[in-house]
């Protein structure tokens, strides 16, 4: 008999944001093939939100996360984060920062110890964490430290119509061009290729690589970065047997016919990657961290303080993140089982 899949661990995120609301809504949509998950949060806070918004969501505090599958159909399972939240909707409180951090640490420990199949993170507010002494640039860097890995993880945005990977992320445009390197492109391409095989089940993935400059530099007329940085990185990837194509003009990479020719687009800077996927799949795009020893996904939106507490936040991206995390974890489990059998 096939073993029961492990549940997903979902973190609370910033409690002044919409994380609690979209988690409650995701549970209300459980009949739509939402995989079982438990939320690491303050159970009383969630019950209060559900009552205030008039949502019929029973909240149950777990004694053990292994109870998740048994109770998920009847109630939202919550693993207590071990404290009471002080924030009000839209108004973060720095006193909650340690609870936010503890939820992430607990979820990672659960996944690494085999109590959860994958990690799904609700959006955090970095400013509130910084004021409490948080020293990491963001979620991803903190997760890399908890995972004990030396190499930088890679960010992918994945949707039904497109997958994109930005080589540089949260940098000013000038800084992104200055910091772009052959090594960074090669690393992102290699990690992306491995993930497409292991996590997305694509046997022979094709990666389209965008040029940095308009028209991929026009043979150097619009800048030499594509000749001197991007093209050598592509050549190095191809030497490793990776089907990387480019440098390609970014303005013709994302129409429907072009997208049918590749499995992921490697982009040189943040907006080159995020504008096309948010235009195509704004409500269904998922943030995926590649290169970690466990699966981590997140909804592709922020804390949404402006609508927190109103009940108007859409759970689509969180539901997509839960479904993708479960699918990726199952592919990893099957792949690892197959290797052990051999």
Q: Which two tokens stand for residue 339?
A: 């290797």
Q: Which two tokens stand for residue 286?
A: 């998922």
Tens digit of pLDDT for each residue in 5-60?
899 999 999 999 999 999 999 999 999 999 999 999 999 999 999 999 999 999 99
Tens digit of pLDDT for each residue in 224-270?
999 999 999 999 999 999 999 999 999 999 999 999 999 999 999 99
Answer whether 121's CB lies under 8 Å from 13's CB: yes
Q: Which two tokens stand for residue 294?
A: 């466990």
What's the pLDDT score for residue 221?
87
Tens digit of pLDDT for each residue in 187-211?
999 999 999 999 999 999 999 999 9
Residue 88: CB partners within 8 Å, gap ≥ 6?
Answer: 16, 309
Q: In what order do the strands lie in the sheet with 286-290?
A: 59-61, 76-80, 37-41, 8-11, 119-120, 296-299, 286-290, 154-158, 163-166, 264-267, 206-210, 243-248
Q: Is the omega angle on the peptide bond into residue 247 within 30 degrees of 0, that is, cis?
A: yes
Determine how β-strand 76-80 pairs with β-strand 154-158.
Answer: unpaired
Q: Which two tokens stand for residue 39?
A: 């939320």
Confidence of residue 3 (pLDDT cuts 50, 70, 90): low
Tens digit of pLDDT for each residue in 309-320?
999 999 999 999
**pTM, 2 dp:** 0.93
Confidence of residue 90 (pLDDT cuts 50, 70, 90): very high
124 Cα distance to chain centroid: 12
Question: For the chain, how big is the Rg over CA atoms in Å?
Answer: 21
Give the span between the Cα atoms of 321 and 253, in whole angstroms.
25
Does residue 339 carry a pLDDT above 80?
A: no
Does residue 273 carry a pLDDT above 70?
A: yes
Q: Which two tokens stand for residue 217?
A: 């530099």
Confidence of residue 150 (pLDDT cuts 50, 70, 90): confident
Confidence of residue 341 (pLDDT cuts 50, 70, 90): very low
């Amino acid at each position: 008999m096939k073993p029961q899949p492990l549940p997903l661990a979902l973190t609370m995120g910033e409690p002044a944001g919409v994380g609690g609301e979209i988690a409650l809504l995701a549970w209300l949509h459980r009949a739509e093939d939402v995989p079982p998950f438990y939320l690491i949060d303050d159970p009383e806070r969630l019950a209060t939100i559900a009552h205030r918004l008039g949502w019929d969501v029973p909240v149950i505090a777990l004694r053990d996360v292994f109870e998740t599958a048994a109770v998920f159909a009847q109630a939202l399972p919550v693993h207590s984060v071990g404290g009471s939240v002080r924030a009000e909707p839209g108004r973060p409180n720095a006193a909650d920062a340690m609870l936010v951090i503890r939820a992430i640490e607990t979820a990672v420990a659960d996944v690494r110890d085999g109590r959860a199949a994958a990690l799904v993170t609700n959006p955090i507010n970095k400013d509130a964490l910084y004021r409490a002494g948080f020293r990491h640039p963001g979620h991803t860097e903190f997760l890399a430290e908890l995972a004990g890995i030396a190499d930088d993880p890679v960010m992918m945005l994945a949707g039904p119509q497109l997958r994109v990977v930005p080589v540089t992320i949260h940098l000013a445009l000038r800084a992104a061009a200055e910091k772009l390197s052959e090594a960074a492109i090669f690393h992102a391409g290699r990690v992306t290729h491995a993930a497409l095989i292991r996590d997305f089940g694509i046997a022979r993935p094709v990666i389209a690589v965008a040029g940095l400059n308009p028209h991929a530099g026009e043979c150097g007329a619009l800048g030499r970065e594509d000749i001197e940085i991007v093209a050598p990185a592509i050549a190095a990837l191809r030497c490793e047997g990776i089907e990387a194509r480019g440098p390609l003009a970014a303005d013709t990479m994302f129409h429907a016919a072009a997208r049918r020719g590749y499995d992921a687009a490697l982009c040189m800077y943040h907006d080159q990657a995020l504008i096309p996927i948010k235009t195509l799949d704004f409500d269904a795009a998922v943030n995926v961290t590649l290169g970690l020893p466990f699966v981590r996904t997140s909804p592709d939106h922020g804390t949404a303080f402006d609508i927190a507490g109103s009940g108007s936040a859409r759970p689509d991206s969180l539901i997509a993140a839960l479904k993708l995390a479960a699918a990726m974890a199952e592919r990893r489990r099957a792949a690892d089982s197959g290797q052990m059998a051999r």
